[in-house]
Amino acid sequence: MTDFILVRHGETVWHAENRYAGRTDVPLTGHGREQAATLAAWAATAGLSAVWSSPLSRARLTAAPAAAACGLTPRIDERLYEVDFGQGEGLTRDEMRERFPDRLAAFLADPVDHHLPDGEHPRHAAERAAGALADIAREQPHGRVLVVAHSTLVRVLLCHLLGIPLADYRRVFPRLDNGALTEIRIEHGRTALLSFNAPAPTRAPALR
């Protein structure tokens, strides 16, 4: 049995304009660094056994204070990258509507079979992230692991692990806040959702 706390990185400079940030290495804002500090305060008493992160700096800089707070070295897995948004990368929804309105409409109707042009197929993203968690679970069979990653990646991963149709990820999980905690338990290859999108408290609750 391995418990995972999945966290979206802190706020970035593209959030104010709601730009799609996939593989682009967008820096954290001051507020994003504050969210990382709040996560670290929670992590200090959370009983974590490991901290993993996406390679992108917005995730690494969110994970590093949490790892330091509990005396751990953060580890990186390339499979925790955000989904690649292809031609949508760096654009707002309005800018996409101007450049490829038909493709955007198809994406909004079915974000999997009609993912953004030249972008990564969400099914591939979900499978690579699930593979990363499976490997971590084998390494931490009784662990409590913090994983700092990205909004779309976490939502498609949850659908994949919980048996929810992938095309419904934007409907079932309409938002994932920066720095919020989503906890899952993987036991004998099956996944339970324990909490979703919960604000990080300054101290962790007592372990069950």
Residues recognised as catalytic: 9, 82
Q: DSSP state, 207?
A: P
In angstroms, the Cα distances linking 188 to 42, 104, 105, 182, 191 are 28, 39, 40, 20, 9
In angstroms, the Cα distances linking 179 to 60, 99, 140 are 13, 32, 23
Q: DSSP state, 78?
A: G
Contacts of 138 (CB under 8 A, 6+ apart): none
Residue recorded with tokens 């934007």: 170
Contacts of 35 (CB under 8 A, 6+ apart): 10, 11, 62, 178, 179, 200
